Amino acid sequence: MRKTMAKVTALAVAAGMLAACGSTGGSTGGGTAETSTGATGSGDATVIEVWSNNRHDEEYMTQMIDAFNASHTDIQIEYTILTDDWANSIQLAFQANTAPDIITIAASDNMTLSDYVSGGMFESLTPYIEADTEFQTVTEVYDHMYEGLNSIGDEIYWVPNGVRSGTRIEYNVELLKNAGYDGVPATLDELVEACKAVTEQGNGSVYGVGFTSSSPLSRWIEGVAEMSGATHMGYDYVNGVFDFSSWKPVIESAAKLYADGSVLPGSETQGVDNSRALFAQGAFAVWGNASQEAGVFTDQFPVSFDWGVAELPTMDGTVKGALSCTPNFGFTMLTSCENKDAAWEVIKYFSSEDFMKGYLEGGYTLPLSTYMSEKIDSSKTGRLADFALTDYEDVYPTPPSVAIEGDDYLVTLWNAVLGNVSADEAIQDLNTRYNEALERGLSNGSCTRVVIADYDPLHPSAGTPTYETE
């Protein structure tokens, strides 16, 4: 039985209903707007439905899907963008038997792989990959298997075609220079002083730093902690427990930004796009985010002043831990797909050399495979070149997925930055709640303990993880 093309009007109604279910934080932007394109060929063609939560690459995706559909009579791609309530939308559509054949996926989507695999939603791509040497060459898939992230054991569920850099500091060159700084200082305490100097220089009209209501800690302070040697997401890989103690100096230093009055008032209540717009208007000097900002400040919120991109500061000016980067632009096939061979042809097309060359040179993501890095003209990528990966960026093994009670570590530690609780109180609370959740998960079989005896904080993916169920 061939899958027929979904009507856009019906999908619009479904999207509106799903939006009422509440956001899980996995979408790429605000609003419930959607677009749909493709499937213009013969009615006898197999239509493969693809859903994405990426809007930044819409123009290129539409162009390339139109090219595919024009050159294929047997397979047509129907492509839909949903920009709200992403993870919940996929789950509800699967349960209602209205799910697409393929979805885009990235490490930042907050979709725990084991949950979707144990729930019978994601199809293993391993049999297709093993039979396709060209796919293996272009993606270097076997070099980019991340346990618990895109693979479980030998089974691969999605293959990243690109990578989002770890966080950087984007800064207003003139504002820092007027305050006496030629660039972003090497230590966090010095950056705090620089933000204070910009604020004093601004005299109430310009501030040192701005944040956002959307996961403010992870915008750049979390990266400072990682590079300073703090535990990744609070997890101690050597001992297999949660321990947030190493976060204390970072949180206490960052809290001075608020104590000094260096933060743009109210910025932490603004959505991420509002905060980006304020930075682009020159309201504050320091903003932190990853490589997607190359396109944001070029196209979405064009910046008229000279803006720089700097590596994050650390506590003492030296890098002691890897900065987490995020594999992205992958595609996973849902088990409900009725035409899996045709769906694989679509996934293979999105991962092909010709497709990825234009995607990477368009600046939509950084290359992950060495093969594609050597195929592109980096001079065409614009400001994305400023976010090129450093030697100390890596993909961390996935910590145990635990069901904690109360706020997660990002919210709890941000409350300490705001001065609502002390760093000591926040850390003690997190250590207690996260380890209690870990023990519950081990007891009821809902999670496994990850232990890496040869763990190297500068190269976390190089270690050998073992998994314990008790």
pLDDT tens by residue, 98-141: 999 999 998 878 788 988 999 999 999 999 999 999 999 999 99
Check: CB of residue 92 under 8 Å from CB of residue 24. no
Contact assessment for residue 267 and residue 275, using Cβ atoms and an 8 Å cutoff: yes
Mean pLDDT of 360-373: 93
What is the 8-class DSSP label of residue 52?
E
Locate CATH 3.40.190.10 in the chain.
Answer: 8-164+327-386, 168-233+245-324
Q: What average pLDDT is seen over the chain?
A: 90
Q: What one-character-per-residue DSSP string does 422-465 give?
A: -HHHHHHHHHHHHHHHHHHHHHHTS--EEE-TT--TTSGGGS--
Local confidence band at 44 (pLDDT 50, 70, 90 cut-offs): confident
Parallel, antiparallel, or unpaired for β 102-105 and 330-333? antiparallel
Distance CA 270, CA 280 (A): 14
210 pLDDT exceeds 80? yes
Owner of token pair 């045709």: 342
The pair of structure tokens assigned to 318 is 């030296």
Sheet holding 366-367: strands in order across? 326-328, 162-164, 366-367
Burial 383-422 (b: 16+ CB within 10 A, else e): bbebbebbebbbbbbbbbbbebeeeebeebbbbbbbeebe
Query: CA-to-CA distance for 466 and 238, rounded, in angstroms?
Result: 10
Q: How far apart are CA 378 and CA 366, in angstroms?
A: 10
Token pair in block for residue 283: 């309201």
**How does residue 23 score in pLDDT terms, banded at 50, 70 and 90?**
very low
8: confidence class by pLDDT, cuts 50, 70, 90 = very low
Specify the CATH superfamily of domain 8-164+327-386: Periplasmic binding protein-like II (3.40.190.10)
Q: Which residues pair with 37 in a beta bridge?
A: 79
Backbone phi, psi, residue 80, to 5°: -130, 135
Whether pLDDT at 26 is above 90? no
Residue 306: both structure tokens together: 């000279």
* Residue that the structure tokens 């996260």 belong to: 434
Instruction: Provide the percentage of residues in the chain whose pLDDT is more than 90.
Output: 77
Classify each residue of 234-251 as buried b or exposed e, where b means 16 or more C-beta atoms within 10 Å of its C-beta.
bbbbeebbbbbebbbbbb
Position 83 scores a pLDDT of: 67
**Residue carrying the six token digits 């209540």:** 269
408 Cβ partners below 8 Å, 6+ apart? none
**pLDDT tier at 340 (50, 70, 90 boundaries)?**
very high
CB-based contact 292:151 (threshold 8 Å): no
Compute CA 217 distance to the chain's CA centroid, rounded to the nearest angstrom. Answer: 14
CATH entry 3.40.50.300 includes domain 168-233+245-324: no
What pLDDT, on the 0 to 100 scale, is given for residue 40? 61
Residues 423-463 pLDDT 10s = 999 999 999 999 999 999 999 998 899 999 999 999 999 88
Phi, psi of 192 (to 5 degrees): -60, -45
- Per-residue pLDDT, 107: 84
CB 327 within 8 A of CB 149: yes
Q: Do 328 and 30 form a contact (C-beta atoms < 8 A)?
A: no
Model confidence at 200: pLDDT above 90: yes
Look at residue 6 and give its three-state secondary structure: coil
